[in-house]
Amino acid sequence: MGTYLNPGSKGFQESLNSDIYVDKTGLIEKTNAKINTLQKYLCISRPRRFGKSMAANMLAAYYDRETDSRHLFKHFQVSRITSYEEHRNQYDVIRVNIQEFLSVSHEIDEMLKLLQERLILELKRKYPEYVTQNNLMFAMQDVYAFTQHPFIILIDEWDCLFREYQHDQNAQKKYLDFLRAWLKDKDYVALAYMTGILPIKKYGTHSALNMFTEYSMTDPGELAPFFGFTEQEVYLLCEKYDMNFDEARAWYDGYELISHRRTGDIHYAMYSPKSVVEAMLRHKFGTYWNQTETYEALKVYIQMDMDGLKDAVVEMLAGASVRINTGTFANDMTTFATKDDVLTLLVHLGYLTYDSENETVTIPNKEVSREYVNAISTMDWHGVIQSVQASRELLSALWAGDADAVAKGIDRAHEEISILQYNSENALSCTINLAFYFAREYYTIVRELPTGKGFADICFIPRKLHLDKPAAIIELKWDKSATGALAQIKEKHYTAALHDYTGDLLLVGINYNKDTKKHECVIEKVKKTS
């Protein structure tokens, strides 16, 4: 057993020893199906702390021919698949974390030299009679020629060089050339599996790793449910740890991944596992995922001088979705032609979620939304942050039924968020949602809620922990009347959309008067009993 060659099962055993382990061994069925096929090259990109390294440790434990991992897997999903015994502990495994080598190197040539030296050293220790070459590719060819045991190659943090050598294209190309020479068209490779945050760099003619199939945040394919926690997995954890599932969903849900299949698309609501685990163990909902990378990282990108980027961020902070084109993204952290490239990067970093059906992005959840607020609070977006901060008072005014105070609060928000073109109900809706930003502490906010006789513009539905707060149905009008908006709520029976809710209900009509450039508001309190 070596450090990199056949590292054994210690890493995976530590995961099993942890307070919370969620079975992701179903991934092995997918990787087994790729072994010794033209599809044997896999690259999985996910944000930090989404279980990538754990999965690599799991694969190492399962495939390593120098260990017997039967006892580790016997109670998990993988033990019931048909290919389980066929591939278990049948391969020489090389598992490397590129970050480890990059951290002790000063430049790319030194890193690549060190990586090859360490792997060759371990190959010589294991196979002294076969390894006579100091070239990694030739050494592995010689081992395979004599043993007929192909290699499973697991590369973690494969993209760290692109994150740390962001502007050094020469270093990036050398690295890609090395990976191509090591992996492409080699008989000794049974499976090459890479994980990182970024998809594979696009380099025109230098698309060195075009043999890889990519499974990313924008196109997760069949591997969607294996990185992050599914909704059902989080639900079961909440039951076990006596935590409120609605709150967990508000805090950590929002990564909507779609797996396209011949039998029909499957939609997955994925959760950040780091955040969920910490919330369960600490018995407290809070911000945990982003402790690995502060809001300063987000700030770098959202303050870029890209036309329309600021508007897009403000709209998403207000709860809206923004259409983007992900096709021009170069898969790096420096090449940005448009705002869409920046937003696509934020998808891969976990700061946005991508809807592949509608080609739109949104801020996924409460935890991430707080990071945007933190970032903006240190930038020159004073109007936006002032509006967010004033939202507590605005919500209190709504609860109190103070229509004048609500109208004035929205006036202030409109003045502060002057970057948005204010010429439609959609722009009004954006202002209202941002003005009521703090409402997300207590409510599930639904825009365009179907009612049977139309759509209610905005609904505030209290989550289970906050049923002492009134629900609210808000109808918006542009240059008409607030009383007309209130009448529409009643005439079209919008309250029927909240058929499962009983309790205090606020009917709110809001109008923007184009002549006075002021908002008007009327509020009516009702008691919903059925």
Q: What is the pLDDT of residues 150-194, one digit of tens each?
A: 999 999 999 999 988 988 989 999 999 999 999 999 999 999 999
Let me know if 383 is exposed, middle or buried by CB neighbors in 10 A (0-12, 13-18, 19+): middle
Sign of CA dihedral 443, 444, 448, 453: negative
Decide if pLDDT at 284 tops 90.
yes
Are the C-beta atoms of residues 342 and 263 closer than 8 Å to each other? no
Decide if pLDDT at 508 tops 80.
yes
Detail the DSSP E strand segments found in 207-336.
213-215, 255-259, 266-270, 322-323
Give residue 527's pLDDT band: very low, low, confident or very high (50, 70, 90).
Answer: confident
Give residue 289's pLDDT band: very low, low, confident or very high (50, 70, 90).
Answer: confident
Q: What is the pLDDT of residues 367-400, one digit of tens each?
A: 999 999 999 988 888 888 888 989 999 999 999 9
| CA atoms of 446 and 443, how far apart (whole Å) | 9
Q: Which two three-digit tokens encode residue 524? A: 């009516």
Decide if pLDDT at 9 tops 80.
yes
Q: Which domains does the chain have, with CATH numbers?
A: 10-215 (3.40.50), 227-380 (no CATH), 390-528 (3.40.1350)
Task: Name the DSSP class of 497.
Answer: G
Q: Which residue has the tokens 């980027």?
A: 309
What pTM value is reported for the model?
Answer: 0.93
Instruction: Return the pLDDT at 201.
Output: 84
Measured in degrees and rounded to the nearest 5, phi and psi for residue 270 equal: -100, 145
Give residue 413's pLDDT band: very low, low, confident or very high (50, 70, 90).
Answer: confident
Decide if pLDDT at 35 tops 90.
yes
Parallel, antiparallel or unpaired: strands 443-450 and 360-362: unpaired
What type of residue sits at position 253?
D
Q: Which of 234, 271, 244 is nearest to 256 (CA)?
A: 271
Give residue 221's pLDDT band: very low, low, confident or very high (50, 70, 90).
Answer: very high
Decide if pLDDT at 530 tops 60.
no
Give residue 203's pLDDT band: very low, low, confident or very high (50, 70, 90).
Answer: low
Decide if pLDDT at 529 tops 70.
no
Please calculate the CA angle 76-82-83 and round it to the nearest 5 degrees.
90
Q: What is the pLDDT of residues 125-134, one digit of tens each?
A: 999 999 988 8
Measured in degrees and rounded to the nearest 5, phi and psi for residue 513 equal: -90, 115
Task: Name the DSSP class of 51.
Answer: S
